[in-house]
């Protein structure tokens, strides 16, 4: 994992879906620059639409994941959050969370530390 900052998985996927929408519009905009070459413009617009449709799919996927996520109260900021899998981060304060005591501080220890140092 090359991630430097560790974010809540749900937030991460949400950011990904949101950026897909922007990428989609970006691609369509590029397509408009090729107005004179009709087939090229069409390809860009279709690609852009695919990206936007895909982001909608990702949004649905987040919805499904959310129902499977375990709701917990964050021990650090005491707000309710949801976690996916055995390890995740709090949506509010990015406190790392784990359901498995043996994994505590292991899986994303490095990224978590480097993030603290950056601040
Ligand atoms: Zn928290």
pTM for this one? 0.67
Q: How many angstroms separate the alpha carbon of residue 95 from the centre of ligand 1?
A: 5
Cβ neighbours of 66 (radius 10 Å)? 14
Give the model's pLDDT for residue 105. Answer: 55
DSSP string, 99-118: S-GGGTTTTTHHHHHHHHHH
Question: Ligand 1 centre and the CA of 30: distance in Å?
Answer: 40
Query: Tens of pLDDT along 57-114?
Result: 999 999 888 888 888 899 889 999 988 888 889 989 988 888 776 655 555 554 444 4
Q: Compute the distance from residue 84 Cα to the ligand 1 centre, in Å.
A: 15
């Amino acid at each position: 994992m090359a991630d430097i900052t560790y974010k809540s998985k749900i937030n991460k996927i949400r950011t990904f879906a949101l950026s897909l929408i922007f990428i989609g519009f970006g691609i369509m905009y590029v397509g408009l620059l090729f107005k004179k070459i009709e087939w090229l413009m069409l390809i860009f617009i279709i690609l852009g639409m695919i990206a936007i449709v895909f982001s909608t799919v990702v949004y649905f996927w987040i919805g499904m994941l959310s129902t499977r996520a375990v709701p917990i109260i964050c021990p650090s900021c005491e707000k309710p959050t949801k976690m996916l899998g055995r390890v995740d981060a709090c949506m509010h304060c990015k406190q790392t969370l784990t359901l498995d005591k043996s994994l505590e501080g292991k899986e994303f220890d490095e990224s978590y530390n480097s993030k603290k140092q950056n601040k």
